[in-house]
Amino acid sequence: MSIFDFLSGQFIDVIHWTDDTRDTMVWRFERHGHEIKYGAKLTVREGQTAVFIHEGQLADVFTPGLYMLETNNMPIMTTLQHWSHGFQSPFKSEIYFVSTNRFTDLKWGTKNPIMLRDADFGPTRIRAYGTYTVKVNDAGKFMTEIVGTDGEFTTDEVTSQIRNIIVQEFSRVIGSSGIPVLDMAGNTGDLGRIMAEAISGTIAQYGLELPELYIENISLPPAVEEALDKRTSMGVIGDLNKYTQFQTAEALQAAATSPGSGASEGMGLGMGMAMAQQMANAMNQGGQQQAPAHGGGAAVPPPPPVEHVWHLAENGQTTGPFSKADLGRMASAGQLKRETYVWTAGQDGWKKAEDVAELAQLFTVMPPPPPPGV
């Protein structure tokens, strides 16, 4: 074996790339002085493309396979430089490996709200976010347009620009779609496909494609969402007047049965004042009467019966308490009607005044309306 053959075998290059990262898109094969030996072996694995740069010019692109870097299998290189067929002619070039796998779970989102006109809410703002997948489909164009001479290019260096393109296309698509905000959740799949097609046309000039784009959420401003929640609650409640009456009755019943609470104390005070007023009226009307003597002593009369006091509910508001005498005057004045809802302690919920036996008589003692023509 000659010394030339020995040296040739010792200095043959084996050029390849094994990637253990999840975000490296381009990696440059490093060799001192960028000297690639004549006859070097180039291994390009599945999911990779090798780009050969010679003196600043894109010389060739290698798809997956095993290559011997010689002039007979590099016709493009032959036009750039004449090679001698021997070990004495290494050439100064660079080889970049480009990953052609899909880079998944990349995030996008709107930094600022997007203004649009909605059929239900009028002018409103929305935000959106989701994920997308990007892939290099033209390694040569990607190298010349984006990477340049970067020795290790990661997804972080290109995703910011792609996110801006996605947000721009999302604003355009969502503004021209005419889909109401309340129906967007059911159309995110179609919107994602439309956006992916539109964006792929834009980033194709960078040598990239967007195989997938997902819209995970479209949201309204917090104030609008709060108003929407209230509107939904009203729809669940149904008849607001009946609901208000039910809530009022529940609150009064809870106050009457809760000793020590401020509401029960106030109700008790009102009932006590009404009882005192009724006792004073009875004493003034009856005067001072002497009880008959029995066995040499005066008999003590029993206390007057406790009269109910009543609460009224009209238009979602309650008033009272009123004594029966007060209600009689209100019935005469037309302030108390048969349909007015009333409640007193011990009564099971609100009832119309005409359905309470104790109050129904207030409407029977009233004179009927005069006959016509009199």
Q: Encoding tokens for residue 32?
A: 């001192």
Mean pLDDT in residue range 185-211? 87
Whether 84 has a pLDDT exceeding 50, the answer reads no
95 touches 41 (CB < 8 A):
no
> What gap in Å lies between CA 292 and CA 320, rounded to an integer?
40
Whether 133 has a pLDDT exceeding 90, the answer reads yes
pLDDT digits (tens, 9 = 90+) for 265-303: 555 555 555 555 655 565 565 555 544 444 445 566 666
Cis ω before 321 (30° cut-off from 0): yes
pLDDT at position 9: 40
> What gap in Å lies between CA 45 and CA 38, rounded to an integer?
21
Higher pLDDT, 19 or 77: 19
pLDDT digits (tens, 9 = 90+) for 293-332: 444 455 666 666 666 788 888 887 888 788 888 888 888 8
- 90-107 b/e with 16+ CB inside 10 Å = b? bbebbbbbbbbeebeebe
Confidence of residue 97 (pLDDT cuts 50, 70, 90): very high
pLDDT at position 144: 87
Higher pLDDT, 6 or 177: 177
How many beta carbons lie within 10 A of that of residue 42, not counting itself?
A: 21
Whether 246 has a pLDDT exceeding 80, the answer reads no
Q: Which of 255, 225, 243 shows the shortest CA–CA distance to 321?
A: 255
> What gap in Å lies between CA 266 and CA 272, rounded to an integer?
10
343 touches 249 (CB < 8 A):
yes
16 touches 42 (CB < 8 A):
yes
> What gap in Å lies between CA 331 and CA 322, rounded to an integer?
12
Q: Which residue has the tokens 């990607």?
A: 142
What residues contact 147, with CB distance under 8 A and at least 6 apart? 25, 26, 96, 153
> What gap in Å lies between CA 311 and CA 263, rounded to an integer?
14
pLDDT at position 239: 64
pLDDT digits (tens, 9 = 90+) for 42-78: 899 999 999 988 777 888 899 999 988 765 555 444 4
Q: What share of the chain is helix, strand, coil (3-state, %, to 5)?
A: 40, 25, 30
| Exposed/middle/buried for residue 205 (C-beta within 10 Å: 0-12, 13-18, 19+) | exposed
Average pLDDT, the chain: 76
Higher pLDDT, 237 or 362: 362
Q: Encoding tokens for residue 173?
A: 């698509």
Whether 236 has a pLDDT exceeding 60, the answer reads yes
Confidence of residue 200 (pLDDT cuts 50, 70, 90): confident
- Half-sphere exposure at residue 111, Cβ-oriented, CA atoms within 13 angstroms: 6
Confidence of residue 87 (pLDDT cuts 50, 70, 90): very low
pLDDT digits (tens, 9 = 90+) for 150-178: 888 888 988 888 999 999 888 888 888 78
User: Whole-structure pTM over 0.85, yes or no?
Assistant: no
151 touches 27 (CB < 8 A):
yes
